[in-house]
Structure 1
Amino acid sequence: MCGRTGLCLDKKQLRCACSYKDKQSNTFVKPDYLDEHNNGKEYTPSCNIAPTDVTPVMISSSKYNNYARTRRVLKPMMWGIIPPWHKGDYKNHNLSTNNCLIENVRHSKLYNPILMSGGRCIIIAEGFYEWQTTKQTKSKQPYYIYMKQDSNKISNHETWSNDFSKEEGWKGIKLLHMAGLYHAWHENNIVIYSYSVITMESNKTLSWLHHRMPAILDSEEQIDAWLDIDNVNVDMALAYLKPIKILEWHPVSTLVNNARNKSADCNKKIRLEIAKTTQKSLTAWFTSKRKSNDDSEQEAKKRKQ
């Protein structure tokens, strides 16, 4: 399951963060950023990206040789694939396409044709959110999950070095590279690129939190293979997708529950003890209030008698 992500880098920083080593020049190359289409919707950096928002996605440039100068390109796309057969308002296809189950992708009427036609992509994020239901209160506690960092603190942008050079590449925040599928939907003169995140069964790293997790690529070999739609066939590419172990996480405020909240407070670490104490205080207050109301009703009945 993957229902929210975070990405606060701007376009310029993102190109540096997604740089890759060119084998011929032995230097790091920044992928081109192709910013057309999508019915006027653009990528806006946010700590709380929700389905239908537009985010940068990495794809092979083999389909865009007339526009791209680099082997990989970044293209903003809407989260949630619009089915190719859909007609009319793109918002009303009534299918849940935010995530794609890896177990079903080869048998899916929607996803398999996209996969077979080279619609492999990588969704770029700093982290994603997942919710855990606690046994005590049945409430859902959100967590922010991200790659293990060095000196950068994921929820404190002031600690991010974000340095880049052609010789050494990106030295900033470590990003998540989530495998996905994308499609370009056409309706009259409107073209909208959209994507789905591939998910799989969680391993021991995250199964305590949720039984599903995104398919995250954590090596250049995996990234190259998934994007190489010309030389790596579908079954071989799928075989590269494995549950990742090198992840970190921390609890965050329920502020993230509302998709309209986009601020940096969404991924700030909180202390669960404080959250529980606050909840107990509220529960005690309401209990006291109810008891007070009950006592008042009993006194009123006694007066009537």
Structure 2
Amino acid sequence: MCGRTGLSLNKEKVQCACGYKSKKSNLYTKPSWLPEYNAGKEYTPSYNIAPTDVTPVLVSSSKFPNTENERVLKPMMWGIIPPWHKGDYKTHNLSTNNCRLENIKSSKLYSPILSNGGRCIIVAEGFYEWQTTNKLSKTKQPYYIYAPQDDGIKIDEPETWNNNFSEETGWTGINLLHMAGLYHVWQHEDTIIYSYSVITMESNDTLDWLHHRMPAILNSEEQIEAWLDIDNVKPDMALSYLKPVKLLAWHPVSSGVNNSRNKSADCNKRFIKEEKNKKTQKTLNSFFSKVEKHKLTDQSDSDNKRQKTSNN
């Protein structure tokens, strides 16, 4: 499954990171950024994005007339609002953060969206997952999962990213994840909200040690292009491009990410249990050292007393 993501890049940097080679030229182009609606909620860069937060989503421009580029970035709310829902968008009471790949074509909610070209790509620096496969553990250890990075780039150290964009070379810097999803435009009276769900599938041997589900990650430009090309790539063909990705990286993080209100940069920092153990051991060593020193002092005082008694 996918319950939290991270994206700390600002609007301009997200556009650069999603740069692609335009069909109209041999140069790299940045996708257009479309205006935000979403009941007044806007995209805010965050290291801990939760459902109902708004994030930039890649879509084809074919459903957005008067757009210059083939691809556009549209801020959308995480968690599709069902088309039939009326009233307050917060009260539909359905879990729509993720949609299972196996059930899309039979789903009353997702099948019509897929048929109507509601394919999108959720961009993120990484996503969080809690280990559910360790039955002996009383607590679920959270992990941060992300794309492999180039030499020298550390996902939890932004100062190493060296982000840059040019029309000749495209984007150089942090490698983002591209997760396949579905989106819908919901309207009730004067309220318009764009919302999405992340498609998930059975985990492969890359992540099944962590969780039995994983996001459908598009790992190549061919996959990205096919998923976005709603005019020429039919739904069944598009679904065939969704395969469990093999190349991923991850590290454990602290339980601070458990609180969705915690949006700080500490959320994706590498959590090393050994350091905690070393500190504990150091404290214990210090304690026993003091006890031993105390014993030696007591022993020395006792010896001195016996010596004085003997001399008398």
Please confirm whether the aligned pair reaches a TM-score higher than 0.5, indicating the same fold. yes
One-letter amino acid of the counterpart of residue 251, structure 2 = H
Which position in structure 2 is the counterpart of 1:165?
166
What RMSD over aligned residues (CA atoms) do the two structures have, in Å?
A: 1.6
Instruction: Name stretches of at least 5 consecutive residues in structure 2 with no aligned partner.
Output: 282-312
Instruction: Name stretches of at least 5 consecutive residues in structure 1 with no aligned partner.
Output: 281-305
Q: 1:257 and 1:101 mapped to 2: Cα distance? A: 23
Does structure 2 retain, via aligned residues, the 8 Å contact 1:124–1:175?
yes
**What is the identity percentage for the equivalent residue pairs of Structure 1 and Structure 2?**
70
Which position in structure 1 is the counterpart of 2:204?
203
Q: How does 1:147-158 map to 2 (within 5 A)?
A: 147-150=147-150, 151-158=152-159
Which position in structure 1 is the counterpart of 2:51?
51
Change beyond 3 A, Cα 1:276–1:192: farther
Moved over 6 A (4+): 276-280
Map Cα deviations across residues 174-213 of structure 1 (whole Å, 9 max, x no partner): 0000000000000001100000000000000000000000
Matched, 1:25 2:50: no
Q: How does 1:1-305 map to 2 (within 5 A)?
A: 1-66=1-66, 68-133=67-132, 134-150=134-150, 151-274=152-275
Which position in structure 1 is the counterpart of 2:306?
none
SS in structure 2 opposite 1:191?
strand
Map Cα deviations across residues 27-81 of structure 1 (whole Å, 9 max, x no partner): 0000000023111100000000000000000000001122x21100000000000
| 1:272 Cα deviation after fit | 2.5
| Range moving further from structure 2, 212-221 or 21-30 | 21-30
Q: 1:44 and 1:279 mapped to 2: Cα distance? A: 38
Which position in structure 2 is the counterpart of 1:284?
none
SS in structure 2 opposite 1:255?
helix
SS in structure 2 opposite 1:265?
helix
Q: 2:162 and 2:113 mapped to 1: Cα distance? A: 38
Map Cα deviations across residues 234-263 of structure 1 (whole Å, 9 max, x no partner): 000000000001100000000000000000
| 1:276 Cα deviation after fit | 6.4
Q: Which has the larger radius of gyration?
A: 2
Q: 2:186 and 2:3 mapped to 1: Cα distance? A: 22
SS in structure 1 opposite 2:127?
strand
Which position in structure 1 is the counterpart of 2:288?
none
Q: 2:249 and 2:50 mapped to 1: Cα distance? A: 21
TM-score (norm 1): 0.89
Does structure 2 retain, via aligned residues, the 8 Å contact 1:251–1:272?
no
**For this pair of structures, how many residues does the alignment match?**
280
| Range moving further from structure 2, 213-222 or 269-278 | 269-278
| 1:25 Cα deviation after fit | 1.4
